Amino acid sequence: MSACSQPNWDLPNPFVIDILVTADAIDHYGHVNNAQYLRWVEQASWAHSAQLGLTLDHYRALDRAMAVHRHELDYLAPGFEGQQLVMATWIVACDARLTLTRRFQLFRPDDGATLLRARTRYACIALSSGRPRRLPPEFVSAYGGALVAEA
């Protein structure tokens, strides 16, 4: 790796996933479709949750889910087929009652570019009804324990 390929992460200690840009991610303009960035945000969220011990099976057993309340995505540079990217995520807020907020940064090691910065706010709901419900203790412990202070 060259010096420029080291990620300059916005926050310390990210959870990261590696991404290979495949042909199905490319739009009519020849670069990554904007909707694909959102899919990678979701992929990173699920992978981080699983690493924290909260899989879809846990969500179902607890009759809870973290449903997206708001996405904010800032597209900063295009990605192209065949590129290797790295998506980072951090939990930056967890009120221990109803909401959780994540930040994301998509990085291209080849040239050191950040392609995307995003923020997603989630609300806890009951899977059975779709209604807002308090975060179960397992969520508070896992997500609250992974909290990173925003700079």
Domains and CATH numbers, the chain: 3-145 (3.10.129.10)
3-state secondary structure the chain: CCHHHCCCCCCCCCEEEEEECCHHHECCCCCECHHHHHHHHHHHHHHHHHHCCCCHHHHHHHCCEEEEEEEEEEECCCCCCCCEEEEEEEEEEECCCCEEEEEEEEEECCCCEEEEEEEEEEEEECCCCCCECCCCHHHHHHHHHCECCCC
pLDDT at 4: 53
Q: What is the pLDDT of residue 5?
A: 67
- The pTM for the full model equals 0.94
How high is the mean pLDDT in each 10-residue block of the chain (151 residues)? 69 97 97 97 98 96 97 98 98 97 97 97 98 97 95 72
